[in-house]
């Protein structure tokens, strides 16, 4: 009888472990490029499981490879100020601070670990749009922020979206609040002849940034 209970306990533990390792599947409205077969998704799972349990984030990170966003992807994997992977998840941002409820994403530092929390309204956004958003958020690696840092991050996001749209033009076909955001940034980048001129004006006039200093470590005023 004792042996039976030990075996039952082990079986239950293994079942819980398998369940804990499962990733949340790609939303049904998302059609991925043909390369994302079940076999390839398993490879991505092994590569990114320490970062997230969201399959759509696996794809977003994969799309960042070899692009302007690769710096941010590497930061997410652990090449950042903490030397630890950045954890990414969808989260009700009002749980962090009521004033964050309408934000699209938040970079967060808790003790010595970094997190990127994405508004759940973007769970079904195209992975290319999520990649652009992550390229921005991965630049925030400490508890400091500034107008200069946000200007750089927003410009990076716009550049990544512009680049990824050339590779994955179908990402623009899906109705999504995040796609709308990315297209606004793309338009500002193009209006400024691919400089940060108009993105900077938008950042400086953003009421959410009104209390930010001009500079932060690593980000100086131009």
pLDDT digits (tens, 9 = 90+) for 99-111: 999 999 999 999 8
pLDDT digits (tens, 9 = 90+) for 153-179: 999 999 999 999 999 999 999 999 999
Largest Cα–Cα separation, the chain: 76
Q: How far apart are the first and last CA of the chain?
A: 74
Q: Cβ(179)–Cβ(161) under 8 Å?
A: no
Q: Which CB contacts under 8 angstroms, 24+ apart, belong to 188-197?
A: 188/158, 189/155, 189/158, 189/159, 189/162, 190/162, 194/159, 196/151, 196/152, 196/154, 196/155, 196/222
Q: Where are the domains of the chain?
A: 30-208
- Whether the per-residue pLDDT at 219 is higher than 90: the answer is yes
The stretch 42-63 carries a mean pLDDT of: 98
Q: Cβ(91)–Cβ(117) under 8 Å?
A: yes
- pTM for the whole thing? 0.89
């Amino acid at each position: 009888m004792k042996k039976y209970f030990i075996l039952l306990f082990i079986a239950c533990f293994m079942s819980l472990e398998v369940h804990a390792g499962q990733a949340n599947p790609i939303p049904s409205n998302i059609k991925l490029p043909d390369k994302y077969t079940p076999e390839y998704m398993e490879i991505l799972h092994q590569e990114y499981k320490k970062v997230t349990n969201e399959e759509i984030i696996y794809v977003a990170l994969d799309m960042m490879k070899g692009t302007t966003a690769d710096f941010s992807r590497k930061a997410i994997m652990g090449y950042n100020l903490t030397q630890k992977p950045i954890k990414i998840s969808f989260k009700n941002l009002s749980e962090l601070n009521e004033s964050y409820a309408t934000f699209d994403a938040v970079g967060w530092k808790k003790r010595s670990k970094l997190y990127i929390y994405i508004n759940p309204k973007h769970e079904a956004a195209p992975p290319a749009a999520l990649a652009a958003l992550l390229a921005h958020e991965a630049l925030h690696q400490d508890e400091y922020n500034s107008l200069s840092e946000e200007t750089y991050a927003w410009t990076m996001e716009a550049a990544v979206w512009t680049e990824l749209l050339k590779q994955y033009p179908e990402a623009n076909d899906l109705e999504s609040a995040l796609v709308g955001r990315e297209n606004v940034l793309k338009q500002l980048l193009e209006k400024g002849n691919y400089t940060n001129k108009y993105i900077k004006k938008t950042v400086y006039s953003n009421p959410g940034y009104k209390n930010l200093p001009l500079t932060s470590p690593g980000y100086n005023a131009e």
